[in-house]
Structure 1
Amino acid sequence: MAAILRVTGAWVGLLSDWLDREGLEAKALRAAVERWAGEESVPVPVWRNLLEQAVALVPGQQAPELAIGSGVRPGHVGVLGYLALASSTLGEAMLAYQRYENLFYGANLAEVSVEGGEAEIRWPREGNELGQRADGVAIAALVTFLRRQLDNPPPPSGISFLGGVSSRAEAEYEQFFECPVQWDDSHVRVRFPVTYLTEPMLSRDPALRELLDRQAQALVRALPSGSAMERQLQQVLLRLLAEGEPTLARAATAMHMSPRTLQRRLAGHGLSWQQWLDRSREQLACQYLQDPGLSLSDVALLLGFSEQSAFTRAFRRWTSTSPGRFRQSVRPLRSPAC
């Protein structure tokens, strides 16, 4: 049976941010958005309805969905924002999205391919219940994210959608994406130069930088040292946790040293690998649990646990309380209390 698509409650928050930018009061829509923003799962029909209500507020605009998507921030994509930060390049970030897309839509639909000098990420028509408006929001958000990571980024090579829009809206789409846009395709597609894949993640987006800074601060509390080796180890750990493979051997390989050398460096801080891993996970958990856009299962994934129950047991061992109770005891995104 085909998976039932949904979006996250954090994604719905795109609408309230857009209403603020447009200066629209829209009390009824704001109340509906607030109602769903706290949910981990929002059915696609609900998302489509909220989006249509928003579009109806600006009848003079041809493609307001593009403006809505262009306001994307890491908080709107929850766990995917953190996974992007754990990626060294845009190619790794794209693969992370593909791997964990089901956390966002409840299904894995995206396909990534490289042919000649172009890379493409695409979503098939089958199983896509989003509709043109919602697809427009999603692709505008994706392209906006890519633009924020590069200096003077070239435009995409091409964009495709499943449906169609008015001729005036077509012009708005081509102006926004700065490339040809194809309609009534078999897939939603984004094509771009393959050189994009090797571009380093720059985190130029202030909101992404804020997430990265909070991660760094959490890891500094786990290993308080400012040397280049410690900073490299912290960044390597974030990637290994996202991949679910946080082992001493993998960390040493990523840092181009032997496991014995890495053990010796950690021993200089009076720590074994497992002690440092537990301390780092604890500090990161305290940070992640303050982010309302992350479910407990999302936090477990970000910390490299295969199951939420394993994370819960570990968190009790570290703090003598459960993740849920800790979350209730702190205000969102203030300085960690553990």
Structure 2
Amino acid sequence: MASVIRVTGAWTGLLKDWLDQQKLEAETLRPQLARWSTQDNVPVEVWRRMLADGLALARHRPAPELEVGACVTPRHVGVLGYLVLATDTLGEAMLAYQRYETLFYGTSLAEIGNTESEAEIRWPASDNELGQQADGVAIAALVTFLRRQIDQPPPPSGISFLHDVDSQTARAYETFFGCPVTWNDRYVRVRFPLEYLGLPMPRRDPTLRRLLDRQARAMLQALPQSSESDRQMQRVVLRMLSDGEPTLARAAAAMHMSPRTLQRRLARHGLSWQQWLDRSREQLAHQYLEDPSLTLADIALLLGFSEQSAFNRAYRRWTGRSPGRDRRQGFTG
């Protein structure tokens, strides 16, 4: 399958953070990382080359790419990390990753499959593939990301890669992941026992917690003097926004009530569904614009718009200004 893959500039920050952690000067590499860190699109061959140059500084240790992946934080994966961490279970997190993977790699590659006993997320070989070192970083980051969110996380039941490595490196991989690792597979795979899909995601990450706190403040501004049932409605809408199509009928179904009942609840606040949706989106937009790690395209996605231009038009209708202007001038109120 031919796919044009790239990574985001934020992802290159993994390598910089690892260099800092290892106290490696990397005088020729650091300017390259600084240059690409602000770019939305980093060609995969550029990422492979910079990664190889960085890892060459640690030849004395097997599989240093796993150490790079273990440096992962939400800021390295941007809005994709927020969307995954805001899910309730590991199964939902896998589906969210698959749905929004294009934000990270520029294309959708991940497949999710189940057997009677296992679930797996897998990536097929590509003409523009990442290569073993970059694949190792990516899977180490994925597993580390989940380990940090789940209480007493169980190891995967198996992991596979496309290429082969020497025996010392293979042992380092099995030690890091705590499970069997297969080489020369047709896919890069991460497998879990099927029951793990129901494991809760407790949202322990402090970066995510700050985002969720901002969301909560924004929703309170959109619907002051909220009751507990109103706050339930707010949580439902927040989730629907990232899924797209936040309609009255879908919100009512998620809250186990009829659309007419939901309309009556909103009418107590003097609002129609569309008025409350617009007010919620506007308040959330103000909060998101304060986060420099979110692009305008990311914000449009978080607000449930199909494209950035639709968000731009809506924001201008709400405020009489463009979101880019408000971000540049630091005015988001």
TM range (shorter): over 0.9
Deviation, structure 1 residue 320: 1.6
Residue aligning to 1:232: 232
Residue aligning to 1:291: 291
Give runs of ≥4 in structure 1 deviating > 6 Å.
none
State the distance in 2 between where 1:215 and 1:20 align.
Answer: 32
Deviations 1:119-147, CA, capped at 9 Å, x for gaps: 00001113452001110111011111221
The number of aligned residues is 333
- 1:221 to 2:221 alignment: yes
State the distance in 1 between where 2:254 and 2:200 align.
Answer: 16
Residue aligning to 2:279: 279
Percent identity, aligned pairs only? 67
- Which shows bigger deviation, 219-228 or 148-157? 219-228
Alignment of 1:144-293 (within 5 A): 144-225=144-225, 227-293=227-293
- Counterpart of 2:238 in structure 1: which amino acid? L
CA, structure 1 residues 144+227, in 2 after alignment: closer, same or farther (shift >3 Å)?
Answer: farther
State the distance in 2 between where 1:292 and 1:163 align.
Answer: 37
Deviations 1:295-332, CA, capped at 9 Å, x for gaps: 322221221112221111001111221122222122xx
Deviation, structure 1 residue 86: 4.0
Deviation, structure 1 residue 266: 2.2
- Which shows bigger deviation, 37-46 or 227-236? 227-236
Residue aligning to 2:62: 62
State the distance in 1 between where 2:249 and 2:324 align.
Answer: 33
Residue aligning to 1:337: 332
Q: Secondary structure at the match of 2:300?
A: helix
Q: Is the 8 A contact 1:86 1:238 kept in 2?
A: no
Residue aligning to 2:13: 13
Could you tell me the TM-score, scaled by structure 1's length? 0.93
Q: Is the 8 A contact 2:44 2:128 kept in 1?
A: no
Deviations 1:214-240, CA, capped at 9 Å, x for gaps: 222222222234533233222211221
State the distance in 2 between where 1:225 and 1:176 align.
Answer: 49
- 1:323 to 2:318 alignment: no
Deviations 1:65-106, CA, capped at 9 Å, x for gaps: 111111211111112122224423221221121122112111
State the distance in 2 between where 1:318 and 1:209 align.
Answer: 27
State the distance in 2 between where 1:111 and 1:170 align.
Answer: 25
- Which shows bigger deviation, 262-271 or 319-328? 262-271
Q: Secondary structure at the match of 2:306?
A: coil
Q: Secondary structure at the match of 2:159?
A: strand
Residue aligning to 1:130: 130
Alignment of 1:39-118 (within 5 A): 39-118=39-118
CA, structure 1 residues 215+81, in 2 after alignment: closer, same or farther (shift >3 Å)?
Answer: farther
- Counterpart of 2:137 in structure 1: which amino acid? V
Q: Secondary structure at the match of 2:190?
A: strand
- Which shows bigger deviation, 229-238 or 272-281? 229-238
State the distance in 1 between where 2:105 and 2:78 align.
Answer: 12
Deviation, structure 1 residue 286: 2.0
State the distance in 2 between where 1:121 and 1:12 align.
Answer: 23
The gaps in structure 2 that reach 5 residues or longer are none
Residue aligning to 1:31: 31
Q: Is the 8 A contact 1:72 1:145 kept in 2?
A: yes
State the distance in 2 between where 1:271 and 1:201 align.
Answer: 34
CA, structure 1 residues 211+27, in 2 after alignment: closer, same or farther (shift >3 Å)?
Answer: farther
Q: Secondary structure at the match of 2:58?
A: coil
State the distance in 2 between where 1:30 and 1:286 align.
Answer: 34
Q: Secondary structure at the match of 1:119?
A: strand
Q: Is the 8 A contact 1:157 1:193 kept in 2?
A: yes
State the distance in 2 between where 1:91 and 1:199 align.
Answer: 8
- Counterpart of 1:106 in structure 2: which amino acid? G
Could you tell me the TM-score, scaled by structure 2's length? 0.94
- Counterpart of 1:337 in structure 2: which amino acid? T
Measured on the aligned residues, the alpha-carbon RMSD in Å equals 1.8
